[in-house]
Amino acid sequence: MSTQSDVILKQSLRKIEYPLCAKEALGRIVELICGRITSIKHMDLALDLMAEFIFYEVDRRGNKRPQIVTPLQELQLLEIMFEYFNSIPNEAARNSVFLSLFSGTTAMMRSGILSKLISIAVGVSSPVILLSASTWMQQLGCLSANSCKLAEALVHDYFYLIPNAKDRLKTLPDICPQFTANFLTAVAENYYLNSRKDKMFPPKILLEVITMWISENSSLCISAQQKQAALPPGAIAMEVTTPIAGLLRWCILAPLYNQESELYCHLHLALLNSILEIPQTVPAKAIYAQHTIVPISYVMYYVNDLKNQGLNSEQVLNDEKLQLALDRYAQAIQVALSMKAVYGHVDDLLNQLQHLPYNKLLNIVVNTHKRIK
């Protein structure tokens, strides 16, 4: 496409009222990104079309627009994007456009549109859009700020605003298990790590839904690893992070933060059952050792708090909440290591666990696996 034809294309799109011009622009973007012959020039033009005619971020001169789109325009744009993505039959082409629209450099700026689009896809069951969102999360990283922000937006929409979310979301793992698994990985990162007190613990309805999902589908946590994402030619697939370590952290730390809901017991059991059914691979790829180390520092914070309250060493060791947390930790480590589901520096994991206060089960687990090594 010549420079002159680029100018003509933009001029023709400018004659169409926003956001109706977005529909025509999306068609041209697909041609530029997914055509037989692609180039840096084609990609640059596609990015220009996205900024001006889809997201309304710049004017015809490339200057940032001072005004924002109205709620009605945003709703119209979402409808156009929803219908367009559902009309693209080729998964690789759909993912290519999705990844370009919400690239790592623009995703945070466009997070409002993205979260609303995915929220709609969850509500009206669009597996093709959810699958593209799943691929996007993997390529940017399920633990990245972008993925965690998307997860936070979905929690707001479906677990705070909607009272019967459990019924609405029951079938989400059947509609798109890959997206559900990646959502779980991201949402697990949003709790039991955050210093904001109002966001420290997951809402009860979210805990209920997650427990239900994993209890009823023991393979859900590794679903995103079971299917290779369809990517554009030359793209490198990023490693998938499962939600197992993050959700186990919830269960381990819950007693230390006085979160006494029995749901944590049920979730813990569901996660252990899930690990037991993970197919063994060489090398292992289900649980990253470094992620399983995270609870250690939080347990030690709790221990130091007890000591600061004047408790002696024996009283600390006899603390019921501490021992429950360590029991759950030990159970998780034992099952994960026995199933050969942990990858990374397992020796470092075992060494770090030895820094924790004495727990009979944890001591047996660590010593047993050290002997095996």
Q: What is the pLDDT of residues 268-292, one digit of tens each?
A: 999 999 999 999 888 889 999 999 9
63 and 192: one domain?
Answer: no
Q: 167 lies in a domain?
A: yes
Q: 20 lies in a domain?
A: yes
Domain stop point among 240, 264, 286: 240
Closest CA to 103 of 64, 136, 60, 69: 136
275 and 370: one domain?
Answer: yes
Domain stop point among 240, 267, 295: 240
Q: pTM here?
A: 0.94
Q: 77 lies in a domain?
A: no
pLDDT of residue 143: 96
Mean pLDDT taken over the chain: 93
195 and 177: one domain?
Answer: yes
> Which of 19-28, 35-44, 278-287 shows the lowest mean pLDDT across its residues?
35-44
pLDDT of residue 334: 97
Inform me whether the pLDDT recorded for 1 exceeds 90: no
Establish how many alpha carbons lie within 13 A of residue 297's alpha carbon, considering only the half-sphere containing its beta carbon.
7
220 and 348: one domain?
Answer: no
320 and 220: one domain?
Answer: no
DSSP 154-219: HHIIIIIS-TTHHHHHTTHHHH-HHHHHHHHHHHHTTSSS-S-GGGSS--HHHHHHHHHHHHH-TT
Range of the domain at 219: 88-240
307 and 368: one domain?
Answer: yes
Q: 353 lies in a domain?
A: yes
Q: 92 lies in a domain?
A: yes
Inform me whether the pLDDT recorded for 39 exceeds 90: no
Average pLDDT over every residue of 68-94: 93
Inform me whether the pLDDT recorded for 310 exceeds 80: yes
pLDDT of residue 21: 95
193 and 276: one domain?
Answer: no
Contact 244, 274 (CB under 8 A): yes
Closest CA to 154 of 177, 184, 196: 184
What digits encode the pLDDT tens for the residues 200-239? Answer: 999 999 999 999 999 999 999 999 998 888 887 778 889 9
The two structure tokens encoding residue 278:
């993970």
> Which of 67-71, 99-103, 144-148, 278-282 shows the lowest mean pLDDT across its residues?
67-71
pLDDT of residue 370: 84
162 — alpha (psi -120 to 50), left (phi > 0) or beta? beta
> Which of 43-52, 232-241, 301-310, 345-354 shows the lowest mean pLDDT across its residues?
232-241
Cα gap 68→56, rounded to integer Å: 8
Average pLDDT over every residue of 14-30: 94
What digits encode the pLDDT tens for the residues 113-128? Answer: 999 999 999 999 999 9
Question: What secondary structure letter does DSSP report for 58?
Answer: B
Question: What secondary structure letter does DSSP report for 232?
Answer: -
Q: 76 lies in a domain?
A: no
Closest CA to 296 of 230, 206, 359: 359
96 and 233: one domain?
Answer: yes
Q: 73 lies in a domain?
A: no
What digits encode the pLDDT tens for the residues 245-265? Answer: 999 999 999 999 999 999 999
Average pLDDT over every residue of 349-360: 96
The two structure tokens encoding residue 265:
């017991």
164 and 300: one domain?
Answer: no
Asked whether the bond before 19 is cis by omega within 30 degrees of 0, the reply is yes
203 and 297: one domain?
Answer: no
Q: Where is 301: in which H helix or E strand?
A: helix 295-308
Domain stop point among 224, 240, 256: 240
> Which of 139-153, 162-176, 327-341 shows the lowest mean pLDDT across its residues?
162-176
Cβ neighbours of residue 209 under 8 Å, at least 6 residues apart?
Answer: 159, 165, 166, 169, 170
Burial call 111-135: b when 16+ CB within 10 Å, e when fewer? bebbbbbbbbbbeeebbbbbbbbbb
Q: 326 lies in a domain?
A: yes
pLDDT of residue 2: 55
What pLDDT band is residue 196 in, cutting at 50, 70 and 90? low
364 and 262: one domain?
Answer: yes
Is residue 224 classed as helix, strand or coil in its secondary structure? helix
Share of the chain above pLDDT 90, in %: 79
Total domains in the fold of the chain = 3
pLDDT of residue 119: 97
220 and 261: one domain?
Answer: no
